[in-house]
A and B are shown apart, each in its own frame.
Chain A
Amino acid sequence: MNNFSILFRKEWRENVRNFKILWIPLVFILFGISEPLTYYYLPQILNAVGNVPSDMVFQLPEYTPDQIIMSTIGQYQFIGMLIVAFGFAGIIARERKNGTATMLYVRPISYTGYVFSKLAIMGILIIGSACIGLLANVYYTNVLYGAVDAVAFIGFLGTYSIWLLFAICVVICSSAAFSTGIASVVSILLLVVVQLVDSLLGTYWTISPWKLPMYAGQILNGNLDKTPFFWSLTVTVVVVVLLVVLAVYLAKRNVSKAKI
């Protein structure tokens, strides 16, 4: 465990120095805030920027609070996942390339501690900023659209955090397996493209990790189908554990690829 705390301190310092600790939460908060604002002021924005004829009447739908929060999740699922995949694809692969790895690997470190330090720092950065962003979002939704049930929101936040954990593990595992470029492509493929496929063809099955955000939204608006949800949760947790084990194994195996 001592091994872990030292490696974690190294990760923490690195992420403070490259400002990730600052800009990732800011971006998530920004998207969380701007989503309800844009929806709420859409008529005024359209009036101000487009030369709409004055006698034209807009029939904008009335949004409920959970629809606004779900559309924020839609933003996070695309832009957030791009940030996760591109910003962290090098988390293990880059160290092999730039020589940090040689400094680490000559010492008797435990690879479990090594992977877990990566997991911890990514978890704090990404799940933390997504939670802060969603809290800001729910505050704005509350002001502009109306209250959200607190218990449902906590359930929603928990479910979405499990999905983020899955995303983090995918990125760490592909980073342990491949070089930075390939790792970012593989993570994008697994996180964004598979998600699109799942939403297009996904009516044929109900249990998949990529459906967790959708189930999170269902928790929020109160008509959750419990059985597929719990199965998806179980499958996701099992996959997360498998990915962590695989990442430890791959990190150990790819030591020889480190550039000296």
Chain B
Amino acid sequence: MDLNSIPWMLILPVLIIQLLLIIVAVIDLYRVKYTNGPKWMWALIIICFSIIGPVIYFIVGRRNE
């Protein structure tokens, strides 16, 4: 499968939104003081699990206090 046959116009929004989610999560991780559990673990989770990682971070990792 060569690169030109991939319909980039359709796939691109998905990639952009995933990237945005990761960026938002990383910025938030950088700004907050404390998280539930070590920060480097959350950084790994955010970057390695593309869709679910940032969501899990926002729901579980963030201390809303």
Q: A residues within 8 Å of B by Cβ?
A: 18-20, 22-23, 26-27, 29-30, 33-34, 37, 44, 47-48, 83, 86-87, 90, 94, 98, 136, 140, 143-144
> Whole-angstrom distance from the CB of B62 to the nearest CB of chain A?
7
A87 near B58: Cβ-Cβ < 8 Å: yes
Q: B residues within 8 Å of A by Cβ?
A: 1, 10-11, 13-14, 17-18, 20-21, 24-25, 28, 51, 54-55, 58-60, 62, 64-65
Residue of B nearest to A48 (CB): B1
Residues of A within 8 A of B13 (CB): 33, 136
B24 near A19: Cβ-Cβ < 8 Å: yes
A44 near B25: Cβ-Cβ < 8 Å: no
Residue of B nearest to A18 (CB): B64
Give Cα A134 to B22, complex, Å. 22
A30 near B28: Cβ-Cβ < 8 Å: no
> Whole-angstrom distance from the CB of A52 to the nearest CB of chain B?
14
> Whole-angstrom distance from the CB of B9 to the nearest CB of chain A?
9
Chain B at the A interface: SS class: helix
B10 near A37: Cβ-Cβ < 8 Å: yes
A33 near B64: Cβ-Cβ < 8 Å: no
Residues of B within 8 A of A144 (CB): 10
B14 near A37: Cβ-Cβ < 8 Å: yes
When A and B form their complex, what is the total count of cross-chain residue pairs whose Cβ atoms lie within 8 Å?
53
Give Cα A30 to B22, complex, Å. 13
Using A23-B58, A27-B51 as known contacts, list a sample of 6 further A-B pairs with CB atoms less than 8 Å apart, ordered by residue number in A. A18-B62, A18-B64, A20-B58, A23-B25, A30-B18, A30-B51
Give Cα A98 to B64, complex, Å. 9
Residues of A within 8 A of B28 (CB): 18-19
Residues of B within 8 A of A22 (CB): 24
> Whole-angstrom distance from the CB of B58 to the nearest CB of chain A?
6
Can you list 6 A-B pairs, Cβ within 8 angstroms, ordered by A? A19-B58, A44-B1, A47-B1, A83-B55, A86-B59, A87-B58
**Given known A-B contacts A33-B17, A44-B1, A143-B10, A27 and B55 have beta carbons under 8 A apart:** yes
Give Cα A140 to B9, complex, Å. 11
Give Cα A33 to B21, complex, Å. 15
> Whole-angstrom distance from the CB of A226 to the nearest CB of chain B?
37
Residue of A nearest to B57 (CB): A23
A33 near B14: Cβ-Cβ < 8 Å: yes
> Whole-angstrom distance from the CB of A142 to the nearest CB of chain B?
12
Q: Which of A26, A87, A98 contacts B17 (CB 8 A)?
A: A26
> Whole-angstrom distance from the CB of A116 to the nearest CB of chain B?
21
> Whole-angstrom distance from the CB of B46 to the nearest CB of chain A?
11
> Whole-angstrom distance from the CB of A63 to the nearest CB of chain B?
16
